[in-house]
Structure 1
């Protein structure tokens, strides 16, 4: 097996941001007069925002939805100083790049959030390409963002690996016919990630880096 590209989700995978998103959504829902339990929000993190909203608060009109999204973005940006890259996340990207593997950040984050995440990672020298919310109409678990990432990597699905932290990530990878490796750093348990299609599960980027030879050779790890 030859891997020519590794595609990465970013939130919860390379950057410790999931719980900032949970808090931002929680405050947004409270402002909208529709409080939602934080654990329910966490379970929705990683999927398309329209799907997340519908699953948590039901069908809402466009004005309500846009206002909730704007509030979430506002509260998230206010907390951006708390963002931090997971241990050895940048080292992982640089190790892959040093082996001639194209690294693509396959995220559906808005462009302004992606900029914050890139600054936090501080590994632009290792990144071949990125995606953002403007690239697809519907984000994960639909496969579109992964398909765009494949195009930007110049890789076939069989030659790529996707790394993410949520069941939505693993579902999107399966639909794009790309092998999915999962990390636990987003707060989702290994059994759920495996059931969603992950072929391997790692604690975090540092764990993945420590076992990178096995990952690239295709040896299963859980």
Structure 2
């Protein structure tokens, strides 16, 4: 149970964090794992294309990379291969600089912190341990909780429900255009970080109203950001 949970009642506002590429340095590990999983099944997709799909759930990722007319019977095989390949890195996952401190700082300011990850539950648990800030996190939402992943708004909406706040009282923080699109569809304001490999211009075009170099950069500018106080107009 976290400090927010112990306080009881609804939080005044919530900050929803994507995890892969936003708090944990995993984007390129996922890129390699999907690239190899696809190659194992004879699909040679350049890593640059794979990278642009990280942040989507596997349903949208495979449709984007292989097309809607692909043999969908192979989706489970591809996803399982990715999971096996990616699991080799679990023991070496590390948070991005400043990520744990950012989460704790938001909680200390009164935000209810909810993680909203496109990862499966077991992957999310590994990342939560790597982050080392579980005492500041009120809840975690994963791909297992929703029927459609980002850029659909389902994950953000589920995170709002777990946070106990309305869309207008939340901020989403992510690293990919898919985060901005999902947040926008859910009516949630969004901030971006460049640690996932997208450009500042791309994230702004996806609806992120401010973009920071990294979690550490957002932490350094927290007092001047929309996360300065958990009261949103």
Instruction: Please classify the TM superposition score into its range, dividing by the shorter chain length.
Output: over 0.9
Structure 1 ranges of 4+ moved more than 3 A: none
Q: Is the 8 A contact 2:109 2:228 kept in 1?
A: no
Give the alignment's TM-score, normalised by structure 2: 0.90
1:106-121 map, 5 Å: 106-121=116-131
For each residue in 1:118-150, what CA deviation from the matched residue of structure 2 results, as whole angstroms up to 9, or x when unmatched?
Answer: 111011000000101121111101111111111
Q: Is residue 141–residue 159 contact of structure 2 (8 Å, CA) maintained in 1?
A: yes
1:31-46 to 2 correspondence within 5 Å? 31-46=40-55
Structure 1 unmatched runs, 5+: none
Q: Give the equivalent residue in structure 2 for 1:15.
A: 24
Indicate the SS of the match to 1:213. helix
Gaps of 5+ in 2: 1-10
Is 1:101 the counterpart of 2:111? The answer is yes
1:65-99 deviation digits (Å, cap 9, x = unpaired): 11000000000001223311011111111111112
1:194 maps to which residue? 204
How much has 1:217 moved relative to structure 2? 4.7
Name the stretch that deviates more: 209-218 or 111-120.
209-218
| The one of 179, 183, 187 aligned to 1:177 | 187
* Distance in 2 separating the partners of 1:31 and 1:141: 27
State the secondary structure of the residue aligned to 2:184: helix
Equivalent residue, structure 1, for 2:7: none
- By how many angstroms is 1:38 displaced? 0.3
Residues 41-60 of structure 1: matches in 2 within 5 Å?
Answer: 41-58=50-67, 59-60=69-70
Q: Check whether the contact 1:3–1:161 (CA below 8 A) recurs between aligned residues.
A: no
How high is the TM-score relative to the length of structure 1? 0.94
Asked if 1:4 corresponds to 2:10, the answer is no
- Report the Cα distance in structure 2 between the residues aligned to 1:78 and 1:93, rounded to whole angstroms: 26
Give the alignment's Cα RMSD to 1 decimal.
Answer: 1.4
Q: Which of the residues 143, 154, 157 maps onto 2:164?
A: 154
Per the alignment, in what secondary structure is the counterpart of residue 104 of structure 1? strand
Q: Secondary structure at the match of 1:44?
A: coil
How many Å separate the matches in 2 of 1:195 and 1:3? 29
Higher mean displacement: 198-207 or 208-217: 208-217
Which of 119, 123, 138 is 2:133 aligned to? 123
